[in-house]
């Protein structure tokens, strides 16, 4: 079956980010002070454990950033027709999760729906009962009450598989390290291998059974329209990551350029830039975002001809949100950089460079920018978790991502009313909570590790 | 001092004009009044006549910035910018889509917002500073370590979950207080307890960590060593010396927030059905009522600027060395 590659704007940006990350990595490797700071991050156990978790999330997000449209079946000789629906590689990997929809709510590991319905039972006529699920626990057939044993056994098998896989990784890491320095134990390595491996073990022992089981059950239940909650969680990861990463990408150039220019040239340039960021700062963030998103909504609604698929429209709205968040959040970093540049430009080596007649831009690029890198890196890493949290709140308020796009905010919004039902539908909310908590906690811990490494003065 | 305040207020004027221009550009340059009319009317009822009628009714039929047809002063005043944006400087916010006077609405809703925000703010400040001071006192012990761990975990929970969880547990399962709503006079307290409690709890994580850092920074300074060297007990060092000296950085972060208390919290108010300014804004966002959102942006920035001036004035009260020329 053929397919047509679809490249969304956010895909381009996210892969550009990956490329930029590799590029920055190469630059750092050539810059001894920065390399030394990153080495300190690498030696930090908590930092490396959370980095492993973050990488797992990023992997999910990257898989979800390769989009395509499947070819529809057509007679030979006919022109190929492609489906309207835009899918990603993650969708293809999680095809069972995506396609096996139930009618409506079902609890985690349930074999029956959560609401009574009138069903036909052969021999008994119509009765009101909880109907069997179409997919959840189907393989059990008549042995419906053996869910616990079956699930536990499957989980054990899968966990064992995950463990074996981990042993492979462990062996590889140990051999490579042994080759480098034969007597070294992993616990004493300069890089916190033990934390990484332990986290990897935890991830594998939990994730492998989770996905194995999700082939047979709805592990986190289903939502109102019968969609698997685990699938929604997986799809939300990309939205959160894009908001967190692309927004920083948007604000970074503006903050760095304006901050340095204001601090270095002073005078009217400084006044102007200070004026701009004070104005933006004086508008309460949520309100500025709300106003901008409202406006963008009008633009999108009045120009439906710009978008060929719903995915493109949702994607553009997501990017616009990133831009708006970026425009509201560059001011803080800009002010920090301006202050630091003011200090730097008075230092002797800058004045020596000026006396030699080095041009201003060259001084900025060669002498000032490298000395501000630690502030930039700290600010970037610290912002990420806040942005993921902000996305959830904004989407909940209705000024976040497109309502058709899965994100933690829209999930929570949909799940909110379910707590008022009798009996309570709790699983969507708990699953969204857990996934978001793990992501943001990992981001916070990693940010702490980075800050400690780059800014030893702060406690 | 007075001269300083006057100068600061004059300095605030261009910033407010800038804010006004930014919101004006956001609301009217990206979208023409025609676009707004089309959206408000809905797809079915859009006809050129309907759009024209909508614009005339709401005063959007004028030119944006300069009215070339009108002569003299009217060429500036008889425009959308003057009617909708510039008049906000004298407190004239116009009418909302439903025809109600925005200024009066704001006046009515200020009190409920304050009733939530003020107790949350004061209680939250007390709790987090106490907690942070305790952590700093027991620094480098297991208590400090687990306290910080707890703070980081608390920081990683979205504010939405504090509200949803608190409402579910306390109101629905334990039935201690009503889930949402607001009462008049003294009856209101039953409705206020839960939002205040949740507001305090959800702020503990990040604020405590921030204050703890400030306290630890003070602990390492010379005057603290001197105080200890002359034999003062550690508790006295903490409460008399460190707390007082840490007040400046704390004030910087805190005073700016005070005027914003009037704005209320968007999330809390809409969740608990409190008729304050926060829920007003959210309703306006959902109803796409631009006049209300624009007014709230303007008020928000006025309050923020007032907050900045208050911060500077509060410095002089805390630290007599800071004098304004």
B172–A419 C-beta distance less than 8 A: yes
Question: Cα–Cα distance between B114 and B129 in angstroms, integer?
Answer: 22
For the beta carbon of residue A139, count every other beta carbon within 10 angstroms: 12
What is the side-by-side strand order in the sheet with A87-88? A3-6, A67-70, A87-88
Question: Cα–Cα distance between A321 and A392 in angstroms, integer?
Answer: 12
A441–B158 C-beta distance less than 8 A: no
B130 CB contacts (<8 Å, ≥6 apart)? none
ipTM (interface pTM): 0.85
Both tokens of B51, joined, read 């759009």
A299–B31 C-beta distance less than 8 A: yes
SS3 A21: helix
pLDDT at A459: 42
Query: Residue A233 pLDDT > 90, yes or no?
Result: yes
Query: Residue A323 pLDDT > 50, yes or no?
Result: yes
Nearest CB to A282 within list B19, B266, B294: B19
A408–B300 C-beta distance less than 8 A: no
* Chain A contacts in chain B segment 186-245 (CB below 8 A): 212-213, 216-217
pLDDT at B12: 86
Angstrom distances, CA of residue A385 to CA of A328, A447, B128: 16, 9, 21
Letter string b/e over residues A282-306, b meaning 16 or more CB atoms within 10 A of that residue's CB: bbbebbbbbbbbbbbbbebebeeee
pLDDT at B7: 84
Query: Residue A51 pLDDT > 90, yes or no?
Result: yes
**How much is the average pLDDT of A439-455?**
90
Burial of B191 (0-12, 13-18, 19+ CB in 10 A): buried
SS3 B220: coil
Question: Longest Cα pair distance anywhere in chain B, in angstroms?
Answer: 85
Question: Cα–Cα distance between B22 and A292 in angstroms, integer?
Answer: 10
What does residue A69 show for φ and ψ, rounded to 5 degrees? -120, 125
Q: For B133-190, how does the pLDDT look when each residue is reduced to its tens digit (9 = 90+)?
A: 999 999 889 999 999 999 999 999 988 899 888 888 888 888 888 877 787 767 778 8
Question: Cα–Cα distance between A9 and B313 in angstroms, integer?
Answer: 48
Q: Which residue has the tokens 């989009």?
A: A67
B164 contacts in chain A (CB < 8 Å) = 412, 416, 419, 429
Question: Cα–Cα distance between B90 and B100 in angstroms, integer?
Answer: 18
CB contact at 8 A, B288 and B39: yes
pLDDT at A3: 82
Average pLDDT over chain A, rounded to an integer: 86
Of the candidates B195, B207, B197, the one whose C-alpha atom is nearest the C-alpha of residue B278 is B195
**How much is the average pLDDT of A298-316?**
79
Query: Residue A184 pLDDT > 70, yes or no?
Result: no
Question: Cα–Cα distance between A232 and A405 in angstroms, integer?
Answer: 10
Query: Residue B325 pLDDT > 70, yes or no?
Result: no
B155 contacts in chain A (CB < 8 Å) = 385, 440, 444
- CA B37 to chain centroid, in Å, comes to 30
Q: For A102-145, how does the pLDDT look when each residue is reduced to its tens digit (9 = 90+)?
A: 888 888 888 888 878 887 777 777 888 788 888 877 787 777 77
pLDDT at B123: 94
Q: For B220-246, how does the pLDDT look when each residue is reduced to its tens digit (9 = 90+)?
A: 889 999 998 998 888 888 888 888 888
Q: Which of A293, A302, A459 to mutate to test the interface with B (most CBs of B within 10 A)?
A: A459
Q: Which residue has the tokens 């949290």?
A: A389
What does residue B60 show for φ and ψ, rounded to 5 degrees? -100, 10
Helix (H) or strand (E) holding A119: strand A117-121
Q: Which residue has the tokens 């892969």?
A: A15
User: Going by DSSP bridges, is the β-strand pair A117-121/A125-129 parallel, antiparallel, or unpaired?
Assistant: antiparallel
* Chain A contacts in chain B segment 89-148 (CB below 8 A): none
Question: Cα–Cα distance between A417 and A419 in angstroms, integer?
Answer: 5
Q: For B82-105, how does the pLDDT look when each residue is reduced to its tens digit (9 = 90+)?
A: 777 777 777 778 787 777 888 888
Distance from B280 to chain A by nearest Cα, in Å?
12
A294 contacts in chain B (CB < 8 Å) = 285, 288, 290, 293
Q: For B252-275, how does the pLDDT look when each residue is reduced to its tens digit (9 = 90+)?
A: 778 878 877 877 788 888 888 888
Helix (H) or strand (E) holding A18: helix A9-30
Q: Which residue has the tokens 């309100």?
A: A287
Helix (H) or strand (E) holding A125: strand A125-129
pLDDT at A76: 73
Nearest CB to B297 within list A276, A287, A399: A287
Using N-to-C axis directions, what is the helix angle for A310-344 and A9-30, rounded to 10°?
Answer: 30
A314 CB contacts (<8 Å, ≥6 apart)? A401, A402, A404, A405
Query: Residue B31 pLDDT > 70, yes or no?
Result: no
For A200-236, give the DSSP string.
HHHHHHHHHHHHHHHTTS-TT-B-TTS-BHHHHHHHH
Burial of A355 (0-12, 13-18, 19+ CB in 10 A): exposed
């Amino acid at each position: 079956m053929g397919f047509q590659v679809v490249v969304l704007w956010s895909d381009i940006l996210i892969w550009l980010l990956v490329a930029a990350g590799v590029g920055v990595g190469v630059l750092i490797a050539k810059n001894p002070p920065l390399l030394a700071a990153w080495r300190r991050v690498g030696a930090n156990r908590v930092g490396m454990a959370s980095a492993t978790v973050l990488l797992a999330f990023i992997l999910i997000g990257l898989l979800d950033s390769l989009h395509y449209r499947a070819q529809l079946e057509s007679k030979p000789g006919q022109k190929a027709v492609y489906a309207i629906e835009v899918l990603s590689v993650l969708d293809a990997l999680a095809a069972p999760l995506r396609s096996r929809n139930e009618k409506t709510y079902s609890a985690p590991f349930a074999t029956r729906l959560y609401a009574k319905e009138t069903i036909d039972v052969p021999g008994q006529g119509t009765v009101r009962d909880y109907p069997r699920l179409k997919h959840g626990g189907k393989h059990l057939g008549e042995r419906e009450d053996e869910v616990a044993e079956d699930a536990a056994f499957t989980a054990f098998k899968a966990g064992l598989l995950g463990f074996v896989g981990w042993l492979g990784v462990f062996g590889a890491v140990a051999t490579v390290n042994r080759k480098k320095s034969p007597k070294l134990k992993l616990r004493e390595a300069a890089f916190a291998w033990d934390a990484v491996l332990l986290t990897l073990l935890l991830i594998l022992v939990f994730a492998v059974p989770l996905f194995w089981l999700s082939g047979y059950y709805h592990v986190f239940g289903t939502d109102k329209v019968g969609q698997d909650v685990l699938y929604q969680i997986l799809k939300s990861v990309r939205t959160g990551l894009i908001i967190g990463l692309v927004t920083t990408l948007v604000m970074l150039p503006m903050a760095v350029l304006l901050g340095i220019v204001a601090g270095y040239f002073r005078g009217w340039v400084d006044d102007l830039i200070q004026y701009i960021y004070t104005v933006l700062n004086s508008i309460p963030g949520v309100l500025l975002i709300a106003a901008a998103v409202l406006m963008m909504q009008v633009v999108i609604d009045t120009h439906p001809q710009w978008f060929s698929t719903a995915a493109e429209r949702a994607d553009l709205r997501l990017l616009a949100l990133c831009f708006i968040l970026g425009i509201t959040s560059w001011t803080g970093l800009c002010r920090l950089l301006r202050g630091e540049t003011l200090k730097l430009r008075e230092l002797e080596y800058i004045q020596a460079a000026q006396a030699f007649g080095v041009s201003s831009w060259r001084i900025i690029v060669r002498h000032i920018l490298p000395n501000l890198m630690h502030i930039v890196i700290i600010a970037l890493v610290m912002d990420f978790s806040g942005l993921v949290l902000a996305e959830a709140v904004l989407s909940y308020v209705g000024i976040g991502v497109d309502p058709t796009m899965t994100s933690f905010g829209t999930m929570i919004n949909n799940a909110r009313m379910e707590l008022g039902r009798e009996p309570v539908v709790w699983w969507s909310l708990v699953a969204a909570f857990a996934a978001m908590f793990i992501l943001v906690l990992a981001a916070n811990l990693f940010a702490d590790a980075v800050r400690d490494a780059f800014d030893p003065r702060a406690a | 001092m007075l001269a300083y305040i006057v100068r600061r207020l004059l300095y605030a004027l261009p910033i407010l004009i800038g804010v006004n221009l930014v919101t004006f550009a956001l609301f009217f340059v990206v979208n023409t009044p025609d676009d707004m009319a089309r959206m408000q009317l809905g797809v079915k009822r859009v006809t050129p006549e309907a759009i024209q009628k909508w614009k005339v009714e709401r005063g959007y039929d004028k030119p944006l910035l300069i009215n070339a047809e009108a002569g003299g002063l009217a060429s500036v005043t008889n425009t959308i910018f003057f009617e909708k944006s510039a008049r906000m400087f004298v407190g004239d916010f116009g009418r909302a889509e439903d025809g109600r006077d925005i200024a009066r609405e704001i006046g009515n809703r200020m009190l409920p917002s304050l009733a939530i925000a003020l107790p949350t703010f004061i209680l939250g400040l007390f709790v987090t500073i106490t907690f942070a001071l305790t952590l700093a006192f027991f620094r480098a012990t297991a208590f400090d370590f687990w306290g910080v761990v707890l703070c980081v975990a608390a920081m990683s929970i979205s504010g939405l979950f504090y509200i949803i969880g608190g409402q579910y547990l306390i109101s629905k399962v334990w039935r201690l207080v009503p889930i949402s709503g607001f009462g008049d006079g003294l009856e209101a307290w039953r409705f206020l307890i839960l939002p205040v409690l949740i507001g305090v709890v959800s702020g503990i994580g990040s604020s405590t960590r921030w204050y703890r850092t400030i306290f630890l920074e003070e602990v390492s300074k010379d005057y603290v060593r001197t105080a200890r060297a002359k034999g003062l007990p550690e508790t006295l060092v903490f409460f008399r010396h460190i707390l007082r000296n840490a007040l400046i950085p704390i004030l910087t972060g805190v005073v700016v927030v005070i005027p914003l208390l009037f704005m209320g919290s968007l999330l809390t108010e809409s969740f608990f059905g409190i008729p304050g300014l926060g829920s007003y804004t959210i309703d306006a966002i959902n109803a796409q009522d631009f006049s209300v959102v624009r007014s709230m942006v303007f008020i928000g920035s006025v309050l923020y600027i007032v907050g900045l001036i208050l911060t500077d004035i509060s410095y002089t009260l805390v630290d007599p060395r800071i004098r304004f020329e």
